[in-house]
Amino acid sequence: MRWLPAFYVAAVLLLEPITPVQWPVSFLLIALPVVAAYAHRPAGVAAIAVFAVVLEGVLAGTPCCAGRMVGYLWDRHYVGAYVCTALVGVLGTLLAAHRTRRERTLATVRSVAETAQRVLLRPVPRRLGHVSMEALYLSAAAEARIGGDLYEAVPTAHGIRLLIGDVRGKGLQAVETAATMLGAFREAAHDEPDLAGVAHRVERSMTRRAAELPGSEVAERFVTAVFAEVPDHEPVVRIVNCGHPPPLRLGPDGITELDSADPALPINLGVLLGADYRVDVEAFHPGDQLLLYTDGVTETRDGAGCFYPLTERIRSWATLPPRELLDHLHQDLLAYSGGNLDDDIAALAAYRLPDETRG
């Protein structure tokens, strides 16, 4: 974009000698300051505007007799062209100043958003005891950094406890709800001896927060979630599913959807309808990998409107380690949707290391 004014001037210079004399192509230079305003700072736009006025005079022609030069310029070019170029130069300078201020504001907002995301969605440790982990987060909005999808991994005395969730709605309300959910989980994961207790504790925290909100917002602040626990000395994973897409277990025996026979209500709906949390226990041997994900993955659509078939697409690279698995998932989602993601996406991959590789 910074070279656009130069290309514009070059185009005018190429047109000038090949057009009839009665066609004052140099009038096109009136737009040059606006072209410059897209990429240059105010001082640069002002300088380009002055250059445009001077170049218009040069293109009017310079006769051999210096005494006739001024009259020739005014004869060949209308005085309005010079005035218009100067006025457009002033407007372009103001436009560049406005653009520069907006860019600074946007940079500040992005910096704040990135800091907020680092606080809200902390990077998961790549290794927690006998489990290797990686996370993926994609925002549906190109300029967004945070949203309503969330994940966390916490090492505790009861094992490694994992969370993935999806807040209903968008915007700051969803971010606030996600922050409340994560804060409650980080505390409960250490204090509660069983996974159902963690879910109950998080539900109570969300209920207290909901009580502070207007009545019309209470039912809008629910979160679908999966709580998972990988104990240190048992080849199992314990799961509490609260209205969330079921995790996948990827292993030598293939891909298994760990669907709950009795999933609980989403978090924060228990305050309205009552809640009971069932803990499902599934095999999780060394060499197995657990994939937790939000519905942004399975609800990604292709050009024909078909949903992303996660179990089928992931089969060919299910044996990859967590980082490579999520990188493949990222690229495949973009390819499947043509780069048009309609929802935020979060995924958490946890690989149970073979016994000989444990630290």
Residue 265 tokens, joined: 């209500």
Identify whether the C-beta of residue 85 lies closer than 8 Å to the C-beta of residue 30: yes
* Cα–Cα separations (whole angstroms), residue 16 to 4, 51, 55: 19, 17, 12
Residue 44 has pLDDT above 60, yes or no: yes
215 and 265 in a common domain: yes
56 Cβ partners below 8 Å, 6+ apart?
A: 26, 27, 29, 77, 81, 82, 85
Question: 37 vs 341, which has greater pLDDT?
Answer: 37
279 and 207 in a common domain: yes
Residue at which a domain ends, from 71, 86, 112: 112
Within 13 Å, how many C-alpha atoms sit on residue 359's CB side? 6
Within 13 Å, how many C-alpha atoms sit on residue 302's CB side? 9
26 and 8 in a common domain: yes
- Summary mean pLDDT of the chain: 83
67 and 131 in a common domain: no
Number of domains in the chain: 2
Residue 13: pLDDT band by 50, 70, 90 thresholds?
A: confident
262 and 129 in a common domain: yes
140 and 171 in a common domain: yes
Identify whether the C-beta of residue 247 lies closer than 8 Å to the C-beta of residue 226: yes
Please tell me the predicted confidence (pLDDT) of residue 119. 67
Range of the domain at 13: 4-112
Reported as a single tens digit per residue, the pLDDT across 256-303 is 999 988 888 898 876 555 567 899 999 999 999 999 999 999 999 998
